[in-house]
Structure formats: structure tokens, C-alpha cells
Amino acid sequence: MTVRNRRYIPGYQDIPAERPKMPDLPVEKRASNFDEVELGFDRDQAIAAASRCLSCRQCLGCGLCVAVCHMKAIDLAQADDEIVLEADSVVIAPGVERNHSAIEEKFGYGKYLNVLTFLEFERILSDSGPYQGLVLRPSDGEIPKRIAFVLCDACQDDNAVSCVARAALAAKEKIPGLEVRLFSPAAAELLAHEVGANPGPGTFANTVSADISALSEDSETGNLVVEFVENGQTRREEVDLVVLYTTLQVPAEIRRLTRKLGVNLPDDRFEETGDISQVKTSKEGLFLAGFMFSKS
């Protein structure tokens, strides 16, 4: 196996940018209180400030970083080189990503704050997430009472209902009385044939076997109006939060890696193992872990 080590210092465009000004409390509001004067950056301002540092001009070669690095890990003269490693076996253990290309513009993702991807909703459910495990709406921090899960491409994912059901149950444990709706053209069939889903009674307050035709936002409340056609009739339902579920897929860089290693990766992006253990691959000495597994 050959590993390429890149040069230590990357090259950046030499485009100076002015340091963003820290927002502060107006002078007239500082009197007779001890409020913090510097208000801090919001999310967009913090990203802009970080981008300025990350896009700094090229290294000046002053050597200060070398002087302060006690581990002597910086070599300004380092060049690209290749290292050849000998190994008896290689384990492919990639992560996973959601297929966001399946999210159509009509769902309003990126336009409406209360439209989330399933991955973002999972982070909200996590105790280490943005709200420390509290389920809150991004737009106003309110606790949602009605959540709609939309299966954007459920027909490609055998575990769609299982994943959505687990997330719905976790949210209901945190929010008593929460109503959860499931939208998919094949919702009824998926619930009937899902192996191991077992969502349990009352997990979904309503299952709508229809495709969403439009999604809009109430400008006053921030609630989302879901429009769909059911039994030939156009209907609308108002919810507090919309969660878009898309299929899992192997990341693009892992697909490139498998091609380099000579592993057979079919069109569905899952490795062809041909082995009941789902550990061996089509190439001797290569093994699987994590998301790489056979669908058969």
C-alpha cells in the first residue's frame, strides 16, 4: 500500500481581508448596568471570521511556529513523498453520508429554518447536540407539537421506517403529547412490510400515502404548511417541524478508495461480499467494517 504525504504548508490565495468587527452594546445602553459590552459573533459572523483566518496569505517563512513547537513536528522544508506499507490485510471501515441530492427544491430545505435533514434531527436528539438533548425548533427555540417525517427516497432504503420510528419514539419520550406524521407515496406498504420496524402503537399519529406537492411557511408563526394530494383531493396540514429522510450511501472518497483497492462496488454502492459473514470482500486480504456490507 502506498501512502502519499503532502507538503506540510498548503498554499492559499493571497487575498487580504479586513478583520470583522465584534458587535458591542450601544453606548446609551451601557449606563447603570453591568451587561457585557462585547456581544460576540453570531453563527454567520463566526464563520466569516474563521474563513478569514483559514484563507490567510501564504506562509511568510518566519519560523516562529517552528520555534514554539516543543514536539519539533514542523518541517518547513518538507516535500511530498510516498510511503510504501506492507500489511497482511486491510480493513475498509468508512463512515456514511446522507444522499442530499434526493432533496427536491419544493421541500424548502435551506430556505425554511424549520425544515431539517434526518441527520440534523438526530443531532438535535443527542444529549451532545446543539440543544443538549432538548427538541427545539431552530427558528424560535419553541418545543414542537407536530413533526412531519418525509421519506424523500424511501423506496431505495429498506430501513427507512425503522430509522424514522426510532427517531419518532425518541422525540416522543422527550415531548409528551407530540404528534408525528409520516409522508411517503408508499407509506402504507412500507409500514406493512418493514422487517423489524415495529414502530409500536401510536408512533405515527397519521400516515399519509402521498407525495408532497408543495411546502410553505407561515411568516407569523414559522409553522410549515404541507400540501399533498390524497385520494384525488388536495389537502393541507400544518406542522411545527419537517424532517427529510434520505437514504444512506457510501461517501464519494470511499468509492474512489475501493476502486484503487480493486474491490467490486456495484451500482447500489454496497460491496459485493459473497460471504455470509459479510466481512470478506471479493479481493483476498481485504475486509469490511462499518457501513460497507452486502445488501443480499
Contact 109, 103 (CB under 8 A): yes
CA dihedral 11, 13, 18, 21 (to 10 degrees): -60
Residues 6+ apart with CB under 8 A from 93: 288, 289, 290, 292
Enumerate domains of the chain plus CATH numbers.
104-245 (3.50.50.60)
Rounded to the nearest 5°, which phi and psi values hold at 256?
-65, -40
Contact 122, 167 (CB under 8 A): yes
**Does pTM surpass 0.75?**
no
pLDDT-above-90 percentage for the chain: 15
- CA 118/CA 149 separation, integer angstroms: 9
SS3 9: coil
Rounded to the nearest 5°, which phi and psi values hold at 193?
-110, -5
Maximum pairwise Cα distance, the chain: 75
| Whether the predicted pLDDT of 153 surpasses 70 | no
Contact 264, 271 (CB under 8 A): yes
- CA 130/CA 138 separation, integer angstroms: 10
Q: What is the pLDDT of residues 182-210, one digit of tens each?
A: 887 766 555 555 444 455 545 555 666 67
DSSP state of 110: T
Nearest to 97 by CA among 226, 251, 252: 251
34 against 277, higher pLDDT: 34
Q: Report the 3 state secondary structure along 163-194.
A: HHHHHHHHHHHHCCCCEEEEECCCHHHHHHHC
Q: What is the pLDDT of residues 81-110, one digit of tens each?
A: 889 989 898 888 777 777 777 677 888 888
Rounded to the nearest 5°, which phi and psi values hold at 120?
-65, -35
The alpha-carbon radius of gyration of the chain (Å, integer) is 25
- At 294 the pLDDT is 42
